[in-house]
Structure 1
Amino acid sequence: MSSRTANGGSRPSSPTSDAEVAISAALAGAEALRRRYGGPLTRLAKSERDFATEADLEAERAVRDAIAEAFPGDAFLGEEGGLHGAADAARTWLVDPLCGTLNFAARTPLVAVNVALREGGGVTAAAIADPFAAEVCWTDGDTAWGRTTIDTPLTPDASSRLVDVDFDGHPVWAAQVVSAPEFTDSFGLRVSSTSLALAWVASGRRAAYVIAGDVRDSVHFAAGIALCRAAGCVVTDLAGEPVESAGNGLIAVADAATHATLLGAIATATG
């Protein structure tokens, strides 16, 4: 049984539907992060520049437990624990339990819990939880909603002209983009360094989100990309092609006109 949203779409209400499990799992991860926030954290090195903390691990366990309770036969690919289940499973959950680990460790409350279900070559359900705004956004693959105290359809809106540019991994490229007149004449810059900004694009708080690098089949971005697409955003790579085609970055934009302007600014600044 489903309830109806303000735009006439149906919102899944069964606790075992894919979308509701994604929501429950993301919220379980968010609760684990709130318990850890502000306390002492041991940094567990993953590479020279990257690390995880006990909060990452605890949030991933909470997400995995919530999914396993509903769908014990599904595979699970976590940012920290890797793959559990068959690599060629028909259904695999892609999970980033703490997007914004450095923010979290520095007591900066800009982080996200990302949960996405990959099925049949695409993402069919996803949720992004903000642990500190008590908010979750989700999609069943067709339409997108957000919830704080009530359920609201997500509506992209480019009127803020604010663009979140992620500097992670490609700071020189990002600096070229944001310092170019073609960018500054049209947009205002924000840098949050978390895929939470994709939920903000879907919900109208940002005009766009931009990051370089390969985001294909990524636990960091699968949920956000699915959410933006379901909300009606324009989602492409940095050349305006499908994200899945060449691993050439990600642009998620509220509307087609703003997408064209931003693509042109990026091409001029970095071409």
Structure 2
Amino acid sequence: MTDSTARRDDAEVATAAARAGAEVVLARYGRRLSRIDKGAGDFATDADVAAEEAILGVIRAARPDDAVHGEEGGRRGPADASRQWLVDPLCGTLNYAVGNMLVAVNVALRDGPAAVADPFSGEVFFTDGTTAWVRRDGVDELLAPTAATGLVDVNLDPPFPSAPGFRAVDLLAHPDFVAGFRPRVVSSTLALAWVAAGKRAAYVTDGGDLTESVHFAAGIALCRAAGCVVTGVDGAPIGQTGRAGQGGRGLVVASDAETHGLLLSMIRGQR
């Protein structure tokens, strides 16, 4: 099996797993949900847990020698596994719990293929690590990022580790932002898939190194493969140290270099 064939096979596993989780999320939508308190106002629901089990079932059947790190179940699988899947079975739990459909199911092989499923549109955005597509009704289309919408999604959820040097809420009041963009707050990493698909011009969030986060790994992989510009909030490649010693913290993901540069100049002005 060639490397490209192996990557495409892994992409199909990621897609099937994300779709399995999305089917659970869709089926349980609108039902009474039991909540599992995680502290600090965070919680999971029985839908999160059931979706993760469905995803795990697909990965176990297709890749029994791989490990899985799920948001709800932690790390499972062979302790010596060289490959690990990162799973967020329901990104946007609060949205979902109050009847908001802006959620995503994220499945990513660390440093490899990934998929993001939208349970309500039926779309699955996926990548083999080189190219990115969206699957609708069994038909695959290449993703084409564009800044044409002028919409920038911003994560306003705490914590805010870069404050007071950088606060996303301040970015929204910047004169250049007001002149060129319009803010949106999806409160789910579905927004990253939308940047890759051209439904958003960019996405901004604060935070630490998000490259191996179960929440962000799939979206980052998707955006990179689609040709988006992906850095930390200081412009450094994520996972690397920048001039301020905090390179790669958070994300600025833009459809093109011009949009990325504009947003970064505003952020640097804050800092």
**Normalising by the residue count of structure 2, what TM-score does the alignment of the two structures yield?**
0.90
Equivalent runs, 1:114-125 vs 2, <5 Å: 114-118=106-110, 123-125=111-113
Contact 1:128–1:137, Cα closer than 8 Å, also in 2: yes
| Cross-structure match for 1:212 | 206
Select which of 71, 74, 77 maps to 1:79.
71
1:256 aligns with 2:257: yes
Deviation at 1:87, TM superposition (A): 5.6
Deviation at 1:253, TM superposition (A): 0.4
1:195 aligns with 2:183: no
| Cross-structure match for 1:237 | 232
Secondary structure, in 3 states, of the residue corresponding to 1:241?
coil
Residue identity opposite 2:41 in structure 1: R
Contact 2:236–2:248, Cα closer than 8 Å, also in 1: no
Secondary structure, in 3 states, of the residue corresponding to 2:36?
strand
1:157 aligns with 2:146: yes
Contact 1:234–1:252, Cα closer than 8 Å, also in 2: yes
Q: How many residues align?
A: 257
Residue identity opposite 2:190 in structure 1: L
Question: Using the alignment, how far apart are the partners of 1:218 and 1:247 within structure 2?
Answer: 13
Deviation at 1:49, TM superposition (A): 1.2
Secondary structure, in 3 states, of the residue corresponding to 1:258?
helix
Contact 2:211–2:220, Cα closer than 8 Å, also in 1: no
| Cross-structure match for 2:135 | 147
| Cross-structure match for 1:35 | 27
Question: Using the alignment, how far apart are the partners of 1:136 and 1:79 within structure 2?
Answer: 20
More divergent stretch after superposition (50-59 vs 215-224): 215-224
Residue identity opposite 2:26 in structure 1: R
Deviation at 1:86, TM superposition (A): 4.7
Deviation at 1:89, TM superposition (A): 2.8
- Runs of 5+ in structure 1 lacking a partner? 2-10
- What is the percent sequence identity of the aligned residues? 55
Contact 2:132–2:225, Cα closer than 8 Å, also in 1: yes
Deviation digits for residues 63-96 of structure 1, max 9, x if unmatched?
Answer: 0000000011100000000001356631000000
Consecutive aligned runs of 4 or more in structure 1 exceeding 4 Å deviation:
none
1:168 aligns with 2:162: no
